[in-house]
Amino acid sequence: MATNRPSRLLGYLESRKNLTGSACGIVGLALTFAGVAGPYWPVVVAGLYGAGALVAPPERPPVPDFPDPSAQLDELRGDFGKLRAYLADVELPPAAAGRLTELTELLAALLDPGWVAEVLAQDPEGVHALSRAVRQDVPEAVDTFVRTRWWTRLAPGVEPPERHLERQLAVLHDEAQTLATSLHEVEARRQESHTRYLEDRS
């Protein structure tokens, strides 16, 4: 409790109420030296200080400190490394394995440090979509296949689970490809804008 008092006092000294009141109090002192306040100058100074503190604009709340998108991408790269280690221990049929390789290569390219990551860091929705693919969609799809494959041995005749996995991976690949295309378009527009700027400047 005692440690909070100095910080509260310092906070009030730096507040708008104190600064505005102090400015008005200085005006009261100026009136005193000018001979306007007379013998009641302490009341005038205190009154002006109080009036200034009352009319001071309210304090603005601090802006929330959101995490840096670049730091989010660094964490996502670490999680992607964990995902690849998990996938390396899973045995998949050739067709599904091929689709999974295409998908992970595309995700790796999107997360690779460079201009793509720089553009991606400015797209919160893109970061969210990529995070969902790495941390939820891909591992859930593969894990569901692994669990379902065992049950199909007990219930032959149903659609093979690898077909579902292939379709899921195809959808995820299309989503990642759409994100990559949009990022490329953003970078192309940025280059075009810079070219026009240089041409107009010259």
| pLDDT mean by block of 10 residues, the chain; 202 residues | 58 71 78 72 76 70 65 89 94 92 95 84 88 95 86 64 92 94 82 74 72
Please enumerate in sequence order all residues whose Cβ is within 8 A of that of 182, keeping only pairs 6 or more positions apart, or say none.
123, 126
Q: Is residue 5 within a helix (H) or strand (E), and if so which, with residue range?
A: helix 4-13
Of the candidates 24, 39, 31, 134, the one whose C-alpha atom is nearest the C-alpha of residue 78 is: 134
Which pLDDT does position 155 carry in this prediction?
59
DSSP structure class, residue 22: H
Tell me how far apart the alpha carbons of residues 153 and 151 are, in angstroms, rounded to a whole number: 5
